Amino acid sequence: MIEEIIIAGFGGQGVLSMGKILAYSGVMENKEVSWMPSYGPEMRGGTANVSVIISDERISSPVINRFDTAIILNQQSMDKFENAVKENGVLIYDPNGITRKPERTDIDIYTIEASEYAAKAGMSKVFNMVVLGGYLKVKPLVQPEYVRKGLEKSLPARHHSMIPENEKAIEAGKGLIQLVSKKA
């Protein structure tokens, strides 16, 4: 098994930490992982993205440009990464702020109304975990117990009181994800 993922959106949406929690969950399940962010000025307010690889075997290149799954959280990222999804791959996006919907027909496309849900539920801090929950529903790569361990490892101890809220967000995401276009 090898899963190559890109998570892309605005800086501040929790893109990098979502990737980190996913990667740490993989570590807890004794899988090989890599987490490779875009870095530099573009981190500050602009677009942010991170490639995460989870694999049963030693990972060769941490730098990848074709993805099994793309998680897209803004229009710029949709423009940049829609065509980078491998054939038969998965694209998940939050429709909030998306002005041009994806057009691929050779992949499975899902939506997750995570920002709307998080705002209504007063959970905007864990918006990214709602998205992660949706992803894990589609690709149950890591078991919930390891996700919890991943949260414990990724979050600083002073934020451990937030773990239940994070888990609640993940559960909510699992219910929010919707298949909108199945590959032809």
Q: Does residue 98 touch other proteins according to CB under 8 A? A: no
Q: How far is the CB of 91 from other proteins (least distance, A)?
A: 20
Q: Are 110 and 103 in contact (CB under 8 A)?
A: no
Torsion, Cα of 181, 120, 131, 82 (10° steps): 50
Angle between helices 127-138 and 163-176 (to 10 degrees): 50
Tokens 């929790």 identify what position?
14
Q: Does residue 27 touch other proteins according to CB under 8 A? A: yes
Torsion, Cα of 30, 31, 32, 35 (10° steps): -100
Per CB under 8 A, contacts with other proteins among 125-164 are: 153-154
Q: Give the list of residues 6+ apart from residue 16 with CB closer than 8 angstroms, or none.
A: 37, 48, 50
Q: How far is the CB of 21 from other proteins (least distance, A)?
A: 10
The stretch among 64-72, 89-97, 156-164, 165-173 that binds other proteins (CB under 8 A) is 64-72
Q: Give the list of residues 6+ apart from residue 155 with CB closer than 8 angstroms, or none.
A: 162, 163, 166
- Contact residue for other proteins among 12, 62, 140, 164 (CB under 8 A): 62
- Contact residue for other proteins among 24, 110, 127, 135 (CB under 8 A): 24
d(CA 24, CA 147): 8
Q: How far is the CB of 107 from other proteins (least distance, A)?
A: 18
Q: Does residue 1 touch other proteins according to CB under 8 A? A: no
**Nearest CB to other proteins, comparing residues 55 and 76:** 55
Q: How far is CA 75 from CA 31, 88, 105, 111, in A?
A: 32, 22, 19, 14
Q: Does residue 85 touch other proteins according to CB under 8 A? A: no
Q: Does residue 60 touch other proteins according to CB under 8 A? A: yes
- Contact residue for other proteins among 12, 45, 65, 88 (CB under 8 A): 65
Residues that bind other proteins (CB under 8 A): 20, 23-24, 27, 32-37, 39-41, 59-66, 153-154
